[in-house]
């Protein structure tokens, strides 16, 4: 008797504004559940390649707009993971505003989490999710976190961060990201540090691992 095929993975989308805590939620799940049970995909990995553009042009692009992402590649990769195949996820180089040319192999798992600002915006991707989460955090707190992150981790100046925030980040949040909250099944108020909400989500994930 041939073994039964592995069940289709449970797909979770985790969205929210810049520095809302969505990465905290996703990485805590991955850490607590384990790589053997959970595959984590970050939308930032699917920024389109801009090798044909000068650095100055790349630096001025709107990275919070839906057109900044390679949705076809991401959807292809999610479909492949759902079918039991491993996928080569691009590694993005934030300092140069383009793909690094390297990849990270992500392997199929019982649970697949896709995390990023617009994962509840794109219809084809959104329809794949079994559970849709939106991490909701006040704008002033998100801006403070972004300032700290981009200065410390990405070598940027505070002036350039504020200019980008006012020119593209805030308008795109209001036009695309915040409205996508209406598609969420679960909303995390107070961001990714909301321990009671995280415990509820973790309990559901652990249940899936046991069943799977």
Condensed to tens digits (0 to 9), the pLDDT of residues 42-72 reads 999 999 989 899 988 888 889 999 999 999 9
Expressed as residue numbers, the domain containing 30 is: 11-206
CATH of the domain at 134: 3.40.50.300
**138 within some domain:** yes
- Interval 107-166: pLDDT, tens: 999 999 999 999 999 999 999 999 999 999 888 889 899 889 888 887 788 898 889 899
The phi, psi pair for 41, rounded to 5°, reads: -115, 130
Torsional class of 97: left (φ above 0), alpha (ψ -120 to 50), beta (otherwise): left
Q: Cα(197)–Cα(78) distance, rounded to whole angstroms?
A: 26
Q: Judge whether 34 lies within some domain.
A: yes
Q: Is residue 159 part of a domain?
A: yes
Asked if residue 6 belongs to a domain, the reply is no
Counting the structural domains of the chain, the total is 1
> Would the pTM count as exceeding 0.85?
yes
What is the DSSP annotation of 91-103? EEETTTTEEEEEE
CA–CA separation, 142 and 192 (whole Å): 11
Quote the tokens at residue 56. 């100055």
Q: How far is CA 190 from the centre of its chain?
A: 18
């Amino acid at each position: 008797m041939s073994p039964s095929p592995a069940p289709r993975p449970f797909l979770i989308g985790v969205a929210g504004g810049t520095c809302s805590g969505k990465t905290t939620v996703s990485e805590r799940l991955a850490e607590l559940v384990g790589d053997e049970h959970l595959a984590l995909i970050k939308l930032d990995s699917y920024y389109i390649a801009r090798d044909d553009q000068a650095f100055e042009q790349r630096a001025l692009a709107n990275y919070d707009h839906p057109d900044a992402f390679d949705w076809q590649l991401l959807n292809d990769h999610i479909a492949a993971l759902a079918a039991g195949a491993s996928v080569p996820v691009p590694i993005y180089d934030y300092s140069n505003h383009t793909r690094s040319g390297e990849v990270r192999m992500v392997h199929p798992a019982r649970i697949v989490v896709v995390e990023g600002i617009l994962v509840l915006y794109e219809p084809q991707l959104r329809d794949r999710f079994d559970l849709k989460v939106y991490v909701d955090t006040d704008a002033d707190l998100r801006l403070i976190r972004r300032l700290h992150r981009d200065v410390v981790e990405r070598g940027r100046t505070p002036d350039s961060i504020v200019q980008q925030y006012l020119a593209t980040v805030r308008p795109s949040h209001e036009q695309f990201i915040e409205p996508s909250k209406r598609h969420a099944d679960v909303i995390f108020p107070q961001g990714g540090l909301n321990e009671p909400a995280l415990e509820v989500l973790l309990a559901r994930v652990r249940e899936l691992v046991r069943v799977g």
